Amino acid sequence: MKAMVLKEFKLVEERPLKLEEVELPIPGPREILVKVEYCGVCHTDLHTVEGELPRVHLPRIPGHQVVGTVEQLGEEVSFFRRGDRVGVAWLYSSCGRCHYCRGGRENLCQEAQFTGYHVDGGYAEYLKVPEEYAYELPEEFPPEQAAPLLCAGIIGYRALRLSRIKPGEKLGLFGFGASAHVTIQVARHWNCEVYVFSRSREHRQHALDLGARWVGRPEEVPPEKLHSAIVFAPAGEVARQALRVVDRGGTVALAGIYMTPIPELDYANELYYEKCLKSVANATRQDGVEFIKIASEIPVRTDVQVYPLEKANEALLDIKHSRINGSAVLKIQ
C-alpha cells in the first residue's frame, strides 16, 4: 500500500515525509483493517514530524483523524462488519487495568498508545485499529468534513468541558485553527459569547463569520472580562495573556500537546483570585462519543482544504504558517 513515511525528524520545509510502498497491516484478534478515505492533518502531526515530541520511534506513518470503511475483520471482532463506515482518533489503545482507566481517565493511562505517534496512522491507504477504539460515524457527515471531528473536534470538546464554561457565559479562544473553528460552533450552540484572539486577519474574519462577538490579536484586551478561555496556540506567552483577561475564578484550559515555556507569572495580577490554569491531555473514548452526538445535533460543519496524499508535506507547511481557514485534510483514495 502507499503511505507517507517519516524516517528522519526534520523541519517540514525540508519535506521529511516520503511517499513509499509499505506492507499492508494484518489485523490481529479484536482488530479491524480500515481502508482510509480521508485523514485530517493536525498540529500534532507537525510537532511529530519536526521532532518536538518524545517517544516517537521511526519509521512512522503519521495521522490520527481517519475516516474510512472496514475492509477486513480480525478474529473475535463482534461489533463492526465489513463495509461499515468508521472513524479512528488519537487514542489507539489503553491498558484498561490501571486506576486511570478504571476511573474513566484512560487518556492519562501510562500504557496508552496514540495513532500516528506510537503506532502507524492514517497517512496511508490502510491502517489497523482495535475495534473498541474505532467510532461509528453518522452518514450525514461527508467523509472529508468528518475527518477533523476526530481530533480537532474531540479535543476542543474536552477543552470546553475542562474550561468549566457554562451556557451563556463569555469564552475566549486563543488561536483559531482547525480545533477552534469547531469549538466555536459548540460554544455558540450553548449560547456562549465567544471572543477570539488570533494573529491572522483571515482567521479573525473566519471567527466573525462563525459567530464570534469580538475578535482581536492575542495581546489585545477584550471589552469585557471572560469567564473561561481555551488556548490552542502552542506559545507559552499566550497562556499568560489568557490569564490576564479571565475574570476572578476563571479557568484557562491549554488544549495543545506541545507548548513553548510559559513565562514567569505575576501571581497577584495574573493568577490570584482563584484563577485556574488547566492542561488538556488527550481525550477519552467517551469524549468522542459525546462530541460526535453533539456535532450531529448542531450540526457542526467543518471548513476543509483537501490535499492528495502525496502533498502531506505541503499541508503541514500551510498549517505551520497559518495559511488554512479551518482544517487540512488528505484525500487518500
pLDDT in tens, 42-87: 999 999 999 999 989 999 999 999 999 999 999 999 999 999 999 9
Which candidate, 104, 86, 56, places its Cα nearest to that of 257?
Answer: 56
CA–CA dist 212, 203 (Å, integer): 11
Which candidate, 194, 193, 192, places its Cα nearest to that of 204?
Answer: 194
pLDDT in tens, 288-310: 999 999 999 999 999 999 999 99
318: amino acid identity, one letter? D
C-alpha cell at 205: 474574519
Hey, CA dihedral for 301, 295, 167, 304, is it positive or negative? negative
pLDDT at position 171 is 98
CA–CA dist 241, 160 (Å, integer): 18
pLDDT at 190 exceeding the cut of 90: yes
pLDDT at 38 exceeding the cut of 90: yes
pLDDT at 166 exceeding the cut of 90: yes
pLDDT at position 150 is 98
pLDDT above 70 as % of the chain: 100
**Domains, the chain:** 2-148+301-331 (3.90.180.10), 154-279 (3.40.50.720)
* Peptide linkage before 29 cis (omega within 30 of 0): no
Average pLDDT over residues 112-129: 98
Average pLDDT over residues 250-265: 96
Q: In which band, very low, low, confident or very high, does the pLDDT at 140 lie, cut at 50, 70 and 90?
A: confident
Alpha carbons within 13 angstroms on the beta-carbon side of residue 20 total 13
pLDDT at position 139 is 86
Q: In which band, very low, low, confident or very high, does the pLDDT at 167 lie, cut at 50, 70 and 90?
A: very high
